[in-house]
Amino acid sequence: MKLSESKAKKLLQLSQGEVISGSQLKGAPFEQMLQDGILQSSTQGRTRRKIACKDPSQLKFYLKNQLGINDLLAYIDNFKTGESRADNTKVSSNSKSTKIRTFKGFLVNCYEPISAVLNGEELILQPAFGSFVFISDYENFTLDKEITIVGVENAENFKMIEQQKYLFEDQKVLFVSRYPQSQSKDLIQWLQSIPNSYLHFGDFDFEGIGIFQNEYHKYLGERASFFIPPNIKELLQKYGNRNLYDLQLNKRKLSVEDERMKRLVDLFHHHKKCLEQEVLIGGEG
């Protein structure tokens, strides 16, 4: 799929923190990005839809892996200057800017050694700080059923797990990254194939709950749960974001059956705030 100049410019605006009317962002690329959680939508009034990008780094990663665009600004500049096909190749992964899937699999991380089995052989997972392990042959990847799989929604939290170990001191855990979940369904397929419990560690907002319910609980059932820190009320009071609450106006009516998450939603409404999970990095809890 080739991204037109006008669509590329809109994505650049979003990556720079602008909020754009939904009427200006129509078409398959934008709808797919909304579905994958790369872009976020909100409704003002009854009909006005607004689009934003909460995490530009995820958009950059998505463009590189889904559309082959390595540098969005350079990609746009090439339209302006009419550069050659060879120059276009420098900013996209191939001369046709086709959608590619470079790898299958997902990233894992841990702050203490985890013993696993990959293709019948023992594998000790112990990535150095600043690095992760990419599991490609996930069909043949298993680990002790007592280990809890923690799905991390945001990139910064996945990178800085050492500074969040206080949250999981009573558990043996392996962290998995939700991204590039948009690239495939490999992670959920693997989770469905193993007996381990799944704990979703994401933002404490309506969208985070929606991601958990639609992408994980829907397929894993009672094996899946949503992480809520015991001091969530104090965290919302001290670090809660009113803009994040307002931005998710169209997501506030989601149906929640779990009693713990119902109480969490009640707290959102009481404080009129939501909370990004990055607050928990470094022992803020």
CA-closest candidate to residue 110, choices 140, 150, 146, 139: 150
Q: What is the dihedral of CA 91, 93, 95, 101, to 10 degrees?
A: -150
Pairing of strands 224-226, 198-201: parallel
Whether the full predicted model's pTM is greater than 0.85, yes or no, is no
How wide is the angle at C-alpha 154 spanned by C-alphas 143 and 37, nearest 5°? 105
Residue 106: pLDDT above 60? yes
Give the model confidence (pLDDT) of 208-266 as tens digits. Answer: 999 999 899 999 999 999 999 999 999 999 999 998 888 887 776 778 889 999 999 99
Question: Does 106-280 carry CATH code 3.40.1360.10?
Answer: yes
Task: Please enumerate in sequence order all residues whose Cβ is within 8 A of that of 31, keeping only pairs 6 or more positions apart, or say none.
Answer: none
Whole-number pLDDT of residue 184: 56
* Intervals of CATH 3.40.1360.10 along the chain: 106-280
Residue 207: pLDDT above 70? yes
For residues 205 and 116, what is the distance between their CA atoms, to the nearest angstrom?
33
For residues 177 and 26, what is the distance between their CA atoms, to the nearest angstrom?
29
Whole-number pLDDT of residue 46: 62
For residues 127 and 191, what is the distance between their CA atoms, to the nearest angstrom?
21
Looking at the DSSP assignment, which residues form a beta bridge with residue 133?
A: 108
